[in-house]
Amino acid sequence: MVYKMISAGIDVGAISTKTVILNDNQFLAYNIMETGLYPREAALTSLQESLKQSNLQLNQINRILATGHGRRTVEFAHNVTPEIMATARGARQILGTTRVLIDLGGQGIRVIRLASDGMVENFVTNDKCSSGTGCFLDAMAFALGVDLKALGQLAEDSVHAETISTKCTIFAESEVISLVARGRKMEDIVSGLHESVAKKVASLTKPQLPPNLGPGMIFLAGGVGKNTGVVKALTTALGVQIFVPNDPQVVTAYGAALIAQDKGPAAPVTALATASNTATALATAAKPATTAAVAKPAAQATPATPAKPAAQASAGTPAAPAAPAKPATHQRVSNGG
């Protein structure tokens, strides 16, 4: 393979960290893992795993760009950018007709309206309540004793969705448990939960819809997009077809890598050497799964560990991203974050 401009985008979300590595705008690899308590270590490990998947060395990465909730902790990145800009760039690259972008992550909802040229016109986010997010669905799945990934398929068998009257995660959990105790069908309860999520997201989305909205104009990113039940309920709530990419949870990291491509090669890649050593050590200690299991770096580290990586990368040395490879099984919703 001929390598041209190699960039890495790292999206450090509240729940999961995603890394995408591109070669001249073409996917080489990606990785998804839990963020845990130490976002910097998660970013390093995710990058290292992506490098393994793409058979690249750290010093071959021309520019690293971090985004997401924990982007400021990734001091080895050459640049940082807000997740709204990164997600918008990634979505527009995938679907050029995108005008409204819905990003459903682990702890947040973002609705972004784009101009015809792809520039961000406006955006809204959810309040501090986690209803409608991946965490909400995660909590409901736990209360029902159901695998989070099975929710979408389970709702397919629903005949009559139960009404979930509250959007508060705590009260909704109690309501779900009450419905189970009253003998209501599991599939109907799950379908009702999906409709609850759809109503919350639709209330934020409808004010952002442009006139003459048509197919191919609404793009859904974030891990919640992998839940077919939520997608179906949201499509019904909005009354228009929604485009969902194959891997919606890596759209933001992809956009970050694209922005890094735009900026061109960064300063001496040799400056990333110490970050490479740190990443290798962390990867060995955490033993993260590249495509099968999600590692929890925080659980592996001793109290002193968080300070160590920071000291090792203090030289301002940027680190590089990881390459795309079908993500491992997640414990939680990547549904972003």
Return the higher-pLDDT residue of 219 and 315.
219
Residue % of the chain over a pLDDT of 70: 79
pLDDT at 311 over 60: no
| Domains 6-85+252-312 and 116-244 fall in the same CATH topology | yes
Position 2 scores a pLDDT of: 76
Distance CA 13, CA 268 (A): 28
Residue ranges of the domains in the chain?
A: 6-85+252-312, 116-244
pLDDT at 191 over 60: yes
Worst-scoring range by mean pLDDT, 17-31, 119-133, 233-247, 291-305? 291-305
Position 126 scores a pLDDT of: 87
pTM over 0.85: no
Return the higher-pLDDT residue of 67 and 328.
67
- How would you classify the pairing of strands 6-12 and 16-23? antiparallel
pLDDT at 314 over 70: no
Question: What are the tens digits of pLDDT across the range 202-251?
Answer: 999 999 999 888 888 999 999 999 999 999 999 999 999 999 999 999 99
Q: Which CATH number fits domain 116-244: 3.30.450.20, 3.40.30.10, 3.90.1150.10, 3.30.420.40?
A: 3.30.420.40
pLDDT at 300 over 70: no
Asked if 159 contacts 232 with a C-beta cutoff of 8 angstroms, the reply is no
> Average pLDDT, whole number, for the chain?
82
Token code pair at residue 133: 């997010």
Question: What are the tens digits of pLDDT across the range 128-157?
Answer: 677 778 889 999 999 999 999 999 999 999
- The stretch 289-312 carries a mean pLDDT of 40
The verdict on domain 6-85+252-312 having CATH code 2.60.40.10 is no
Question: What are the tens digits of pLDDT across the range 73-84?
Answer: 998 899 999 999
Position 337 scores a pLDDT of: 55
- The stretch 279-284 carries a mean pLDDT of 45
Strand runs labelled E in 183-263: 218-221
Worst-scoring range by mean pLDDT, 8-22, 54-68, 240-254, 266-280? 266-280
pLDDT at 270 over 60: no
- The stretch 5-26 carries a mean pLDDT of 95
Position 302 scores a pLDDT of: 41
* 108-115 LR contacts (CB < 8 Å, sep 24+): 108/14, 108/133, 108/336, 108/337, 109/133, 109/200, 109/201, 109/204, 110/83, 110/84, 111/201, 111/204, 111/205, 111/208, 112/84, 112/87, 112/88, 112/208, 113/208, 113/210, 114/88
Strand runs labelled E in 202-277: 218-221
- The stretch 94-111 carries a mean pLDDT of 94
Distance CA 129, CA 272 (A): 39
Distance CA 161, CA 196 (A): 10
- The stretch 121-130 carries a mean pLDDT of 85
- Give Cβ neighbours of residue 108 (< 8 Å, ≥ 6 apart): 14, 125, 126, 133, 336, 337
